[in-house]
Amino acid sequence: MKIHFRLVALGILALVGGCSDRSGGGAGVSEVPSKDAPAANEQGAKPRIALVMKSLANEFFSTMAKGAEQHQAANPGQYELVSSGIKDERDLGRQVALVEEMVASGVDAIVIAPADSKALVPVLRRAVDAGVVVVNIDNRLDAEVLAQEKVQIPFVGPDNRAGARRVAEHLASRLSAGDAVAILEGIRTSFNGQQRKLGFDEAIAAAGLKLVDSQSAEWEMSQANTIASSMLTAHPEIKAILACNDSMALGAVAAVKAAGRSGEVMIVGFDNISAVQQAIREGQVLATADQHGDSLAVYGIELALQLLSSPKAEPADRETPVDLITADRLR
């Protein structure tokens, strides 16, 4: 029965294009644990850890997947890795289904970057009830909904508010009080998106800048392009656009170009993906924040391994680094 579930899950994972397993044995094949294996599951095999991400179209998550695969390849005796993600930032139903499939396939732990801070809590509570270790990375689950569902899930990720504030302060140092700026927000039910907006707001207020518009482009480049274009038309006085992630910053770059205003409107983002590094070098983007996507899942996996080997341990949150990236840092 278990093998059947695993085959089904593997087939589905291959369909979403998120299946990765460097061991070559396939995620469903368990080997005899090596001496350094920290924890064996009920069958005495290496633990299987599922990394469940968001949009694999976003370079942030392909970088995250690569980091996790490299960690697994460097620690082959410790655990097996099954990676998956969704195609569309808003496809919450698909992410819920992925969690259900992972539980049904018998994984020992789930490390998840939730696409929504509230909607994923019930299915993760069911995973915990089924005996699966769950670690929340990147986007924090909602504290109230966790309390309602009576479940504790540790969080591993950066202080998004502080990171965004630093990016916006850097931008503000290039502007004058009274200058008009606009924000492109992430999905509004994501805690990290809310925190980044707050960080931007704080720096904007402290510098006396004028926020003329703030809209959600749901983390996506094409939506950001459309929204930024209409913002630039409605508010030609805009001097800068602050995007809550780099995909949206790239959408804003294209909108500024199309409006013939390159060099006049500054743009900042968050993530430090390679396309934005290039845009920073070329002067199209002023700054971004590096939240070290390649290590984020690894920190979550390390915590999951710890909890698997000491099930009685109190799961503690872990704050991960976030750094300001400007042209100086990239030279």
Name the minimum Å distance from CB 313 to ligand ALL. 26
Q: In what order do the strands lie in the sheet containing 80-86? A: 80-86, 48-55, 109-112, 133-137, 155-157, 318-319
Residue 218 makes contact with ligand ALL by CB under 6 A: no
Does 58 engage in binding with ligand ALL (CB under 6 A)?
A: yes
Alpha-carbon torsion 143, 148, 154, 156, what sign?
Answer: negative
Answer yes or no whether residue 63 interacts with ligand ALL by CB under 6 A.
Answer: no
* Under rule CB under 6 A, residue 138 binds ligand ALL: yes
Relative orientation angle of helices 246-258 and 221-234, to the nearest 10 degrees: 50
The answer to whether residue 79 forms part of the interface with ligand ALL (CB under 6 A) is no
Among 139, 225, 277, 288, binds ligand ALL (CB under 6 A): 139
> In whole angstroms, how close is the CB of 290 to ligand ALL at the nearest point?
11
Residues 6+ apart with CB under 8 A from 16: 56, 84, 85, 86, 87, 94, 98
Cα–Cα distance for residue pair 156/93, rounded to 1 Å: 23
- Minimum Å gap between C-beta 138 and ligand ALL is 5
Residue nearest to ligand ALL (CB): 245
Give the type of residue at 100: E
Binding to ligand ALL in span 188-207, by CB under 6 A: 192
* Residue 245 interacts with ligand ALL (CB under 6 A): yes or no: yes
Residue number, 22 or 66, with CB nearest to ligand ALL:
66
Instruction: Identify which range of 11-19, 53-61, 66-74, 255-263 contacts ligand ALL by CB under 6 A.
Output: 53-61
Picking from 175, 233, 244, the residue whose alpha carbon sits closest to that of residue 207 is: 175
Q: Using CB atoms within 10 A of its CB, is residue 119 exposed (0-12), middle (13-18) or buried (19+)?
A: middle
* 219 sits near ligand ALL (criterion: CB under 6 A): yes
Residue 36's SS3 state is: coil
CB of 295 to ligand ALL, least distance (A): 13
Closest CA to 231 of 214, 206, 219: 214
Segment interacting with ligand ALL, rule: CB under 6 A, options 30-38, 51-59, 74-82, 208-216:
51-59
The pair of structure tokens assigned to 64 is 């995250």
Q: Give the binding site for ligand ALL (CB under 6 A).
A: 54-55, 58, 60, 89, 113, 138-139, 192, 219, 245, 247, 270-271
